[in-house]
Amino acid sequence: MHYFALLFFILLFSCQPGEVSEYTSYLNHNDTVKYVGKEQCRMCHSEIYDSYINTGMGKSLHFATRQNSALEGSDMTIIHDSIRNLSYQPFFQNDSLYLKEFRLKEKDTIHLLIKKVDYKIGSGHHTNSHLFEINGYLHQMPYTYYTQSEIADLPPGFENGQNSRFSREIGLECMSCHNAHPSHESASFNKYNHIPQGIDCERCHGPGEAHVKMKLAGEIIDTSKYIDYSIVNPKKLPLDLQFDVCQRCHLQGTSILANGKSFESFRPGMHLEDVMDTYLPKYKDDHSFIMASHADRLKQSSCFKNAEMTCITCHDPHKSVNSLEKNYFDNKCMQCHDVCDDEHILNCTSCHMPESSSSDIMHVSITDHKIGIHSDSKTKRGEFLGLFSINNANPTNLSKAKAYLKRYESFEAKAIYLDSAWYYLQRSNENFTSYIQYFYLNNDAKSLINFVMSNGINESEYMPSDLALAFSRMGEVFGNNNLLDESEKFHRKAILYMPFVIDYKIKYGSFLFENKQIDNAKIQYIDALELNPTIKEIHVNLGLISILEGEYEKAENSLKQAVALDPDYLKAYENLVLLSQKRNNYKDVKQYLNK
């Protein structure tokens, strides 16, 4: 429905004062209504805008300049990854921030890689982490400044031997909570055509195009009496939908999208469970919590259970907590709890919402949003009880199966997750891509092949990203089992659905190379290189092809580029050994063998 026609419907059937409509009445839920950006909002709401941009949300992502970076004024500490034997040091050059990765042998620098930091992510209340962009592809960098403790260290998830250096992709799941609405290339995982700066007004109010056009056309609504259905005001929503606006991002966990939805599908005023289910693992006698578990912890509070409260009962999202008066939150408590007397010193949150370290991010302390009486006694976490959806009391079996699969693949490769996934898969409507994921993660090639051969797939029922991942994995497994025609067909399908996912091109190129289609493999690698020249696997594969073609200088350049990107890349050194043998350069053979 065109939005002007929908506007007529809304004006005709708009609620009377005091009535609350169903969320489907909001004009900006129509998928034709565009996002306009917070600068457009500023034209009429300048005072709110000027206050909001100083909040944690307003500062959530920005260009990595001196003005925006918490590193400005710090001692720019060098951090060392003792497991990888790599060190990292940030430095400013004029107004731009760079990160230097290096390795020392005694006093000699034997590896040096410098990358420009394009964005800092994090408000600075707790952390600043760092991102770089190449041809629109966005990745995280291996350096975080923990501002509360004024400590530099590896980012969360990079510690304990898990340092992925510059290869962690920043996809839409991450971006949709840490920033405003980017222009994301849907046929990719982490490629963006435009990246805005900071979480903006439209994350909480919905896209603003219809609202702006109405106001410019002179359509003014008395919001003291009526609801303006051209834009969502969370205060006007029913309490459950109000809460969904906040818990869309303040409920961290394993999120499973509903069929046909993406991480950009949710709009304020919708039911979150219609878009996704978010799961957390629960354990017996477990009192720990993770960084963004505000909604989960608040739901466990007696205050929440016994009163009509949501996040905005206590929080004004337009104001930074650092700008509030000292007794701001105590006064919020006093609205329901009249306990202020000589025996009670006003500081409710220090006892009833104490600050604590999160279980997933080091060097930070956050306010525990479980309002209650807390004990200092530590109990050992008990047995695993399962994954539970925090925002949906009745998730489907398929949703549960997908949650266990994603948890296994993305967080913890525990057998119990695969066992649970299989249990719920068997009790759900058949889901082709989820079965492929299960068999692949379980290293069960025989079952995967038999399943594919015995079951057709209606491709129109699945999201392109899910289809592409399944087809790429099918291509890999079929190829490893010498089913070459089927393998090539599946690899091609993966690239057809997601042509900007470089990993699919590399896997297809490897399949072609192994099956003596060298020229076609080269085409895939060159195509991938043009998309993103910072991926080591592309260079090493092109280097090997150049060796076979007798172009030794070209091969050396490619292989040394791979080593420059990763000084511990074994395949690159193996191919450099081969190249040196071809050149009868046995001094280099010995050097690279030692490497």
From 164, 160, 125, 161, select the one nearest 143 (Cα to Cα).
Answer: 164
Question: Residue 429 — pLDDT band, cuts 50, 70, 90?
Answer: confident
Whether residue 504 has pLDDT greater than 80: yes
Q: What are the tens digits of pLDDT across the range 511-546?
A: 999 999 999 999 999 999 999 999 999 999 999 999
Asked if the model's pLDDT at residue 241 lies above 70, the reply is: yes
The answer to whether the beta carbons of residues 300 and 293 sit under 8 Å apart is no
Q: At what angle do helices 209-216 and 3-13 cross, to 10 degrees?
A: 70
Name the pTM for this structure. Answer: 0.92
Q: Kindly state the tokens that stand for 369.
A: 């949003």
Those residues whose C-beta lies under 8 Å from the C-beta of residue 483, and which sit 6 or more positions away, are 449
Q: Evaluate whether 356 touches 366 at the Cβ level (below 8 Å).
A: yes
Of 281-290, 302-311, 370-379, 409-418, the one with minimum mean pLDDT is: 370-379
Residue pLDDT, tens place only, 18-54: 344 444 589 999 999 999 999 999 999 999 999 999 9
CB-count burial class (<10 Å; 0-12, 13-18, 19+) for 554: middle
* Of 147 and 23, the one with more pLDDT: 147
Mean predicted confidence (pLDDT) in 323-344: 79
Of the CA atoms within 13 Å of residue 324, those in its CB half-sphere come to: 17
- 3-state secondary structure (DSSP) of residue 62: strand
Q: Is pLDDT of 349 > 90? A: no
337 pLDDT higher than 90: no
